[in-house]
């Protein structure tokens, strides 16, 4: 395979493209089984990181689950660096009423759990019929601080990862896998 611009920045891959694909199918099966009786399910993609997972998960769930609708919110706690800032910033709110709807929040990663805790409170206050969460990745702090989650793809180590939607300085989201950057990559002059 020809080398890609990012190959030299990656120290190691922690979850491969194939593992992500298999896990996405598995999560879609779990959700489809649990929501077999609902008329429709509203997926809320938390931009930007969850965009890749949402696109793939929605198609998998669409094959076997109830009718789906898709909405987007943009909330962030990371800021520019590699650790959560501790403050949740809503960059784009929902533009519709979710009262009485069954909602499934689609996240790429739960780290400190701060974004999710805020989102759950917010969505519940909008009188959704139910609110659950599916996340592809979860870090150890979230197991301690966030509410227990039904749908978790991979529990990963507390190290900073990029790829499949996850960025460092807005780069690396397009990687088809998730990996750890080499220390030198953080010092790239264009980042």
Q: Judge if the upstream peptide bond of residue 116 is cis by omega within 30 degrees of 0.
A: no
User: Using CB under 6 A, which of the segments 32-40, 63-71, 109-117, 178-186 binds ligand PRP?
Assistant: 109-117
Residue in 81, 89, 106, 86 with CA at minimum distance from that of residue 165:
106
Q: How far apart are CA 65 and CA 60, in angstroms?
A: 8
Coil, helix or strand at residue 55: helix
Distance in Å, CB of 79 to ligand PRP, minimum? 7
State how far the alpha carbon of 16 is from the alpha carbons of 42, 51, 129, 153, 177, in Å. 28, 17, 36, 13, 5
Binding letters toward ligand PRP, positions 119-158, x by CB under 6 A: -----------------------x----------------
CB of 191 to ligand PRP, least distance (A): 14
User: Taking CB under 6 A as the rule, does residue 54 contact ligand PRP?
Assistant: no
Number of residues that bind ligand PRP (CB under 6 A): 21
Contact pick of 25, 68, 76, 90 for ligand PRP (by CB under 6 A): 76
E strands in 77-181: 89-92, 102-110, 130-138, 151-155, 178-181
Q: Is residue 178 at the binding interface for ligand PRP, with CB under 6 A as the rule?
A: no
42 is a site residue for ligand PRP (CB under 6 A): no
112 contributes a contact to ligand PRP by CB under 6 A:
yes
């Amino acid at each position: 395979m020809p080398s890609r611009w990012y190959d030299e920045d990656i120290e190691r891959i922690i979850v491969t493209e194939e593992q992500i694909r298999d896990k996405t199918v598995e999560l879609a099966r779990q959700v489809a089984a649990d929501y077999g009786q609902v008329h429709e399910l509203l997926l809320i993609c938390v931009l930007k990181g969850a965009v890749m997972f949402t696109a793939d998960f929605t198609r998998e769930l669409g094959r076997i689950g109830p009718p789906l609708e898709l909405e987007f919110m943009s909330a962030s706690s990371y800021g520019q660096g590699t650790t959560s800032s501790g403050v949740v910033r809503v960059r784009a709110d929902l533009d519709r009423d979710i009262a009485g709807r069954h909602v499934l929040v689609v996240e790429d990663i739960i780290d400190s759990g701060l974004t999710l805790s805020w989102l759950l409170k917010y969505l519940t206050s909008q009188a959704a019929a139910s609110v659950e969460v599916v996340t592809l990745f979860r870090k150890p702090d979230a197991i301690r601080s966030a509410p227990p989650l039904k749908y978790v793809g991979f529990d990963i180590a507390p190290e900073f990862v990029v790829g499949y939607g996850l960025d460092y300085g807005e780069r690396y989201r397009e990687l088809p896998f998730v990996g750890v950057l080499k220390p030198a990559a953080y010092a790239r002059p264009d980042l």
